[in-house]
Amino acid sequence: MTSPSGQQPKRKWHVCVRPKTAALDGHARDVLADTRQIDLENIQGVQSSRLYLISGTLDESHVRVMAEDLLTDPVVETFDLGEGLANRTESGAAIEVHTLPGVMDPIALSTLDAARRLLEEKGLTGATIDELHTARRYEIVGAKGADELERIASGVLANDCIETWYLTGPDRNDPIPDAFPKPPVHQFELRRVALRQLEDEQLARLSREGHLFLSVPEMKTIRDHFRDKDRDPTDLELETLAQTWSEHCVHKTLKSEIVYRGDDFGRPGTTEAHFGNLLKDTIAHVTQTLNRDWCLSVFVDNAGIISFDDDFGVAFKVETHNHPSAIEPYGGAATGIGGCIRDIMGCGLGAKPIASTDVFCLAPPDFDPKRLPKDVLHPRRVLKGVVSGVRDYGNRMGIPTVNGALFFDDRYLANPLVFCGCIGMIPRDRIDKEPRPGDAIIVAGGRTGRDGIHGATFSSAELTDTHADEFSHAVQIGHAIAEKKLLDALLLARDHHSGCLYSAVTDCGAGGLSSAVGEMGAEIGAVVDLENAPLKYSGLRYDEIWVSEAQERMVFAVPQENVETMLALFQAEEVEANVIGTFADDGVLRVRYQGKTVGQLDMKFLHDGLPKQTRQATWSAKPDSRKGASDGWPRSFGPGGLDAAEQTGDQRPSDLGDANGRLLAALRKPNTASKEWVIRQYDHEVQGRSVVKPLAGPKFGPSDAAVLRPRYDSPKGIAVACGLCPELSDIDPYWMAVAAVDEALRNVICVGANPDHTAILDNFCWPKVDTEESLGALVRTCRGATDAAIAFGLPFISGKDSLNNEFSMSTEEARRTGMPEQIAIPYTLLISAMGLVDDVQRCVTMDLKQPGNCLALASAPTVPAASQLLRQRKDPAQEMQRASLDDARALHHRVAELIRSGKVTAAHDISDGGLAVTISEMSIASNLGAAVTIDAKTYTHSIFEPIATSYVLEMTQDDARDANLPIIGTVKPEPQLRIDGVDSSSIDLPVSDLAAAWRSPLAKGGGRSS
């Protein structure tokens, strides 16, 4: 076939590759199991296949070569091919999932490269490939009709924010397009927003409808600024201001001036307090007061840095990625960890990531699917998605995910929280950075696309049951290998033999180029030519290029004399890098597109123009301040996984069954249960630095913290852990914060960290802060964290907040689901801790080691137990028994010293589930037994309640006696746990029963067995 011009005609083909046998189709088995989770019991079989859709000057033999030599594994796969993109040989019910136009498809890109190389290698010079796309296909056996296929497509296989699907079935036959989709094309047109004539109400509407999420006073400030300038702003200018002034970027709530009136902090009575800048007067005040010389860089960079040794510092950052994960859990979590890794890469002149952390707060995976509000994903799907996202991104980056937590409460249903942390090593002479006027602005890494637009302002929005449609453009697509290449290139440029090739670097995070260039040039100004930014596809508007949050990009300030070397180095690493502008010296940000100015802003107004607010805050404890629990909703499982009645002491222990039953029930609570299903999916040992792993002992108990050895040639280590106690925040956020700091510290001490060289990070996740009470809760949390951190000597080095974690639904939906129209998350503070370990050989794990050793109790509970606080609510005359923060500090240090001196063989803190669960976990981890006697004099609490500042230590009898600690039990060789002295009944259970109860709830992501 030859066209009139003598050239080979363009043709289109499809290749369908599938596993040879059902036994080899693990992905299909997974999908089948997932159909059970959405209550489709009748699906009998699923077969999966991959589709490659190819166009070009290609005849059948060319496509066959590709299919045989590249696309198919001859041992386990088979293929068929045919002409056209849409023809299929299969005739039964099927679902095909294709990516939406403009959404990145990394597999297609690398397959295209490989296919071109293959044609060249085979000498098929006449064959050329124009385009190559991929898709997934599922043959479904047993579906009753198109509606069931639709449910499988939307509920299991695809996410309609980034994908579309085509159904084939008895009563449905979606036409599969025979042409590749094209993203929309835009002609350049400079757009101005007629802002100057707008009044309050119109400004408010513009802010909401334009997704700016600025307050009316903020909008007025902008309007007045442009009235002074005697012109209207361009859309790009307005968006730049909205991004820069977003809660996400400037934390205006936490930095606002606040007058607090209400309950005193940790003391009876009331108080009035004034904060000029809440963050500065509390969290930052801790660091200033403690004034540790080992704090190298705090609150000024993308991450906090403390010293590791004479050569290196260690950087730590924890981010949240909540809203994107609510809509698209896999992509949201993947880009969450990807973004946090870039924070470490962009910290100083670049740190090398050595470990990641992840914490998820979700509704319980057994949530009744019938009560799910419209457009809200089921928590089981969210859990699976976020775990897969962190897994695929972290594992591909080659960064071990070493520590984390899972916390369940119904109120996280529509607002799951996804915290991602990253730790990196940085040479001490690579911490300072400063872009200089005249430096070239180089953007490197991934290309810019339409993905992830408005993420910074989106995070200020309240989610609703229409959010998925409205904000699908904010979903970001991750590509870990692009980031890995960027990391490799960045480290080579940082450590170049002629010195660091650049004078500053930062990541493109929320706000994209707008934030990155705006922040780097804040003091000097910059000129940017947007057409020089490489794009994924044509047709992006100039403002889209400017604010796109396309992933895997970083911005460098490069002295002109190094530009050539820098670009060559990046090219050798297969990383795209382009000069897009120059840093200036006039303090003005100028943005141009094709030679025309599309934005011009004074840096001073951009960064200092935000009007400061003064707000009122209050808090007073109510006799029963727990959020109204009606109809069994919400279930919060706390404290320690006990039910509400049990927490308040409304029920007598005897009503709750015998002690054995209570212990098994406590182990089965999802907050306590084994997280092995999650941990095993993460590579936690890559880089060969693992010293204490997330699972401890021969039977995999829960480690308190992870320990890494950053330098192969040094005995020093780093312990990483977290503290999270939202179950206390309904009672009093002050104590919630103290407990979180205390728990994070205990966790790193348990493995051998030095409490005198431990730093902490704060991450606040809040509902809307639109009432005096929610602001009061924020104030109390800041104060609690401050009091504990100062007392324990723990400087804050970095932090972040995510507000507006609230969901609203229509009255009908609320009635149908039996939930309130407005769902606010519990006030949540995550404390992450990083402590230095002087010699990793001294590290300790939580599994019991030696029969005959004794169990000692080290305890100085500084936070009143939840039951105590609730009793006091009812009867304010009741005195709270608690240790002072100073006593607590002394105890932490004493335990750390015992561990450092080698006298402790196992250590575990008393947290979720109380003493009974702590000892159970130590037994489960080792499959050794214990005989424990609780004496009411040494232990005044319920053994099922979490107790702050308390540890169980395994020691020899002699060492325990020397340490003068109360001995509560003995390690036994036979795997049986006995605890006597609990009320009237005793605990007497085989360790295998404890293990079974503890392992079952989350064994397969919390799903029902199919």
Partner 1 sequence: MSNVNVLVLRAAGINCDEEVMHCWRIAGANPTLVHVNALAADPAMLDDAAIVTIPGGFSYGDDIAAGQILAQRLMHEVGDPLCDLVNRGGGILGICNGFQVLVKMGLLPGGDAGRDKVTVTYNDSAKFEARWVKLKVCTDRCAFLAPDTTLEMPVEHAEGKVVTAGDTVVRQLESEGLIAVRYIDDDGRTDTYPANPNGSDAGIAGLCDTTGRVFGLMPHPDRAFDHTHHPQWTARRLNSRHSPDAPPDGLTVFQNAVRYWQTLACR
Q: Does residue 107 bind partner 1 (CB under 8 A)?
A: yes
Site for partner 1 contains 397 (CB under 8 A): yes
> Residues 55, 357, 551, 926: which binds partner 1 (CB under 8 A)?
926
Residue with smaller CB distance to partner 1, 265 or 682: 682
**What type of residue is 202?**
Q
Q: Taking the complex as a whole, how short is the minimal distance between the CB of residue 108 and partner 1, in angstroms?
A: 9
The reply to whether 577 sits near partner 1 by the rule CB under 8 A is no
Window 165 to 184, contacts with partner 1 (CB under 8 A): none
CB of 574 to partner 1, least distance (A): 6
**907 touches 952 (CB < 8 A):** yes
Residues of this chain, 729-788, that bind partner 1 according to CB under 8 A: none
Query: Among 571, 576, 575, 605, which residue's Cα sits nearest to residue 588?
Result: 605
Q: Is 151 helix (H, G, I), strand (E, B) or coil?
A: helix
Mark the segment that binds partner 1 (CB under 8 A) among 71-79, 256-264, 338-346, 606-614: 71-79
- The yes or no reply on residue 709 touching partner 1 (CB under 8 A) is yes
Q: Counting contacts by CB under 8 A, is residue 472 touching partner 1?
A: no
Asked whether 333 and 386 are in contact (CB, 8 A), the reply is yes
Taking CB under 8 A as the binding criterion, the range among 277-285, 310-318, 476-484, 872-880 that sits at the site for partner 1 is 476-484
Near partner 1 in 365-394, by CB under 8 A:
391-392
Q: Check binding of 444 to partner 1 (CB under 8 A).
A: no
Task: Give me the numbers of helices (H) and strands (E) for the chain, helices first please.
Answer: 31, 41
What is the per-residue burial (b if ≥16 Cβ within 10 Å, else e) of 6-15?
Answer: eebeebbbbb
Q: Which of 158, 566, 644, 679 binds partner 1 (CB under 8 A)?
A: 679
Residues 6+ apart with CB under 8 A from 138: 28, 31, 46, 47, 48, 49, 94, 95, 96, 97, 152, 157
- Minimum Å gap between C-beta 54 and partner 1 is 13
Q: Does residue 580 contact residue 553 with C-beta atoms inside 8 Å?
A: no
Residue with tokens 């699972």: 695
Residue 504 vs 995, nearer CB to partner 1? 995
710 φ/ψ angles, rounded to the nearest 5 degrees: -65, -35
Query: Contact with partner 1 (CB under 8 A): which of 7, 10, 22, 26?
Result: 26
Of these, 317, 485, 553, 662, which contacts partner 1 (CB under 8 A)? 485
Kindly state whether residue 75 participates in binding partner 1, applying the rule CB under 8 A: yes
Site for partner 1 in 544-573 (CB under 8 A): 572-573
* 698: contact with partner 1 by CB under 8 A: yes
Is residue 88 a contact residue for partner 1 (CB under 8 A)? Answer: no
Q: Is 905 in the site for partner 1 (CB under 8 A)?
A: yes
Tell me which of 24, 100, 190, 579 binds partner 1, using CB under 8 A.
24
> Does residue 845 touch partner 1 according to CB under 8 A?
yes
Q: Residue 237 half-sphere exposure, CB side, CA atoms within 13 Å? A: 28
Q: Does residue 684 belong to the site contacting partner 1 (CB under 8 A)?
A: yes
117 binds partner 1 (CB under 8 A): yes
Binding span for partner 1 by CB under 8 A among 106-114, 665-673, 782-790, 792-800: 106-114
By rule CB under 8 A, what count of residues binds partner 1? 65
Strand 257-263 relative to strand 614-619, pairing: parallel
Given 144, 496, 693, 716, the residue binding partner 1 (CB under 8 A): 693
Nearest-approach distance from CB 46 to partner 1, in angstroms: 12
Question: Least distance to partner 1 from the beta carbon of 836, Å?
Answer: 16
Sorted by sequence, the CB contacts under 8 Å of residue 464 that are 6+ apart come out as 807, 808, 809
* Per-residue interface string for the shown chain with partner 1, residues 793-832, x marking contact by CB under 8 A: ----------------------------------------
Q: Is 474 in the site for partner 1 (CB under 8 A)?
A: no
Is the link from the previous residue into 639 a cis peptide, with omega within 30 of 0?
yes
Structure tokens belonging to residue 382: 């969210």
Biggest distance spanned by C-alpha atoms of the chain: 99
Q: Which long-range contacts does 917-920 make (Cβ < 8 Å, 24+ apart)?
A: 917/640, 917/663, 917/666, 917/667, 917/672, 917/944, 918/952, 919/855, 919/952, 919/969, 919/977, 919/979, 920/663, 920/667, 920/977, 920/994, 920/998
Does the protein bind partner 1 through residue 311 (CB under 8 A)?
no
Let me know: does 368 contact 38? Beta carbons within 8 Å: no
Give yes or no for residue 430 binding partner 1 (CB under 8 A): no
Beta strands across the sheet bearing 163-169: 77-83, 11-19, 45-57, 128-141, 94-99, 163-169, 172-173
Please, which residue, 243 or 845, has the CB nearer to partner 1? 845
- Cα 697 to the center of its chain, rounded Å: 28
**Between 506 and 905, whose beta carbon lies closer to partner 1?**
905
Cα 291 from Cα 280, distance rounded (Å): 15
For partner 1, the binding residue among 712, 875, 964, 1009 (CB under 8 A) is 712
Of the candidates 133, 433, 450, 479, which one interacts with partner 1 according to CB under 8 A? 479
Cis peptide before 634 (omega within 30 of 0): yes
Site for partner 1 contains 45 (CB under 8 A): no
What would the two tokens of residue 939 be? 């232990």
In the complex, which residues of this chain contact partner 1 (CB under 8 A)? Answer: 24, 26-27, 29-30, 70-71, 73-76, 106-107, 110-111, 113-114, 117-118, 121, 391-392, 395-398, 479-481, 484-485, 488, 572-574, 679-688, 690-693, 695-698, 709, 712, 840-841, 843-845, 847, 849-850, 905, 926
